[in-house]
Amino acid sequence: MVAVQRLLNACFQERLPDSSEMKTFEKVTIGRMRDRDSGSTFSDFEFRRCEFDDCEISVAARPELRSTIRNCHLQRCIVRQNCSINTAVVEDCVVDGLETRGPVDIHGAVFKHVVLKGKIGHLILAPPYGLSESNPSPFLAANAESYRGVDWALDLTQCEAKELQLSGVPGRLIRRDPTTQILVTRERALAVDWRSLPLGGSPYAVVLNHLTRYGDDSRVLVAPHRDRSFQACIQAQKVLRDAGVAEPD
């Protein structure tokens, strides 16, 4: 564990030489990582059946100080307590199975070619922490600019998440499984009286209210696998399709 910790610390402090060779770790625990205002690149790592505990990635005050996570693979890993990814740029990564001990918050990150597959726990993707409506976070503009050059951000086509909230990631840039994941645009949500629809047992009324009031361009709504609300969400998705709120598949 000490060797892993030193290697990761060196990565965050930019002391590692550039290399495209994958650095692989298996069955190790990584804890108490603090990446703040480093502007560093965390790349070419593979973690197999590893555990993460009390780790913070890319806590940055300004976009130029955010970190980049690139070409990293996680396979059947566990995220324990107090772990978060904040304003990172995440590119060309694969998460194949991820157990979480409680929700994992990802605030303000921007994604390009990131695959979530297999059984995934609780992930909450959200916009950067806001300052105020009159003084918005600079990461909002930075993320919007980044997404203009992205063909797709996330691939969820093989993902079975227990909870997956996707605020802050343009729904149009998400590859999805249409049997359990629907795309709703702000335009359609404003055009249809979805408040009169029977969406009980699902969280979608809250999501649609946020979409229409605060204005992501589009959102993907996910039915949570392995959760007791799954069937209710599937039924609510059908209602939204039939009413013309969801985009046709």
Which residue, 157, 175, 193, sits at the end of a domain?
Answer: 175
Number of Cβ within a 10 Å radius of residue 155? 18
* Domains: count for the chain: 2
Do 102 and 219 fall within a single domain? no
Q: Model pTM?
A: 0.90
Reported as a single tens digit per residue, the pLDDT across 68-108 is 999 999 999 999 988 999 999 999 999 999 999 989 999 99
Strand partners, 51: 29, 78
Answer yes or no: is pLDDT of 173 > 50: yes
CB-based burial label for 156 (10 Å; 0-12, 13-18, 19+):
buried
Do 213 and 241 fall within a single domain? yes
Do 6 and 93 fall within a single domain? yes
Do 226 and 157 fall within a single domain? no
Do 60 and 151 fall within a single domain? yes
As given in the structure block, the two tokens for residue 103 are 């929700």
